[in-house]
Amino acid sequence: MTGTLYLVPNLLGAVPPASVLPVRTIEVAQKLDHWLVETPKPARAFLKTIGSARPIAEIAIHALSGSSSDAQWALATLRGGHDVGLLSDAGCPGVADPGAVIVAAAHAARIHVVPLVGPSAVLLALMAAGMNGQRFTFHGYLPVKPEARATMLRTLEQHSRIDGSTELFIETPYRNVAMLDALARTLQPSTRVCIAADLTLDTETIECMPAEEWRREDHSRFDRRPVIFLLQASK
């Protein structure tokens, strides 16, 4: 009997698991003793927080290396009859995070894949921004160099104006302030810009206003926090 590949969302920070994970997600994760994880240390912290059924030292934890050995390990374990949990360092595996190649390999091998419910910063930000949720694009990271970044921001704004779409992206946290400065400086005054920081944490901050208002704001309060950026141009 082949095992099932469970896609297990991780917490977005130090919060009680019950605040962001359904009981079913916690119960499934407590019983899994084979894991494929982005990084072992936060994975062990997660297993401790949710209260694994087994001592953590007895749980098989394979770190994703980016090589084909990841899928080989997963498929061999699943074919050996064991369920496997796929876990990233924060949020949902495979969404703005590694893990998709493992899921693709499981489908190719006709292995049962079950996504569990939990927090995703991208999804929570989209809900919370009040922008178009019928049409949206997530772009991952934008170019770092100022000129290429400004060009990309204008391209996204133009795309949003034509399609009415929401454009989402992320940035390395120590560059948040530079990104927000660029957004305020580069975009049309009426383009709405939303910053969703520390989602699900006690320090959660979600601020949405036109670019022209961001120009008058001090951006340093977003320095080094996990943030999702969103924009929507006016028609």
CB closer to a copy of itself out of 56 and 112: 112
Q: Which two tokens stand for residue 43?
A: 């994975």
Cβ atoms 60, 67 nearer than 8 A = no
Cβ 15 to a copy of itself shortest distance, Å: 9
> Going residue by residue from 57 to 96, which x/- string records binding to a copy of itself, judged by CB under 8 A?
-----------------------------------xxxxx
- Which one, 119 or 226, has the nearer CB to a copy of itself? 119
> Is residue 128 within the footprint of a copy of itself (CB under 8 A)?
yes
CA distances from 51 to 8, 16, 30, 82, 108 (A): 15, 12, 6, 20, 33
User: Contact 116/20 with Cβ under 8 angstroms?
Assistant: no
Extract the tokens encoding 176.
């948040």
Name 5's bridge partners.
84, 113
Pick one of 206, 228, 230, 231: the residue that binds a copy of itself (CB under 8 A): 206
Q: Which residues bind a copy of itself (CB under 8 A)?
A: 7, 16, 18-24, 92-97, 99-107, 113-115, 117-120, 122-140, 165, 192, 194, 199-200, 204, 206-209
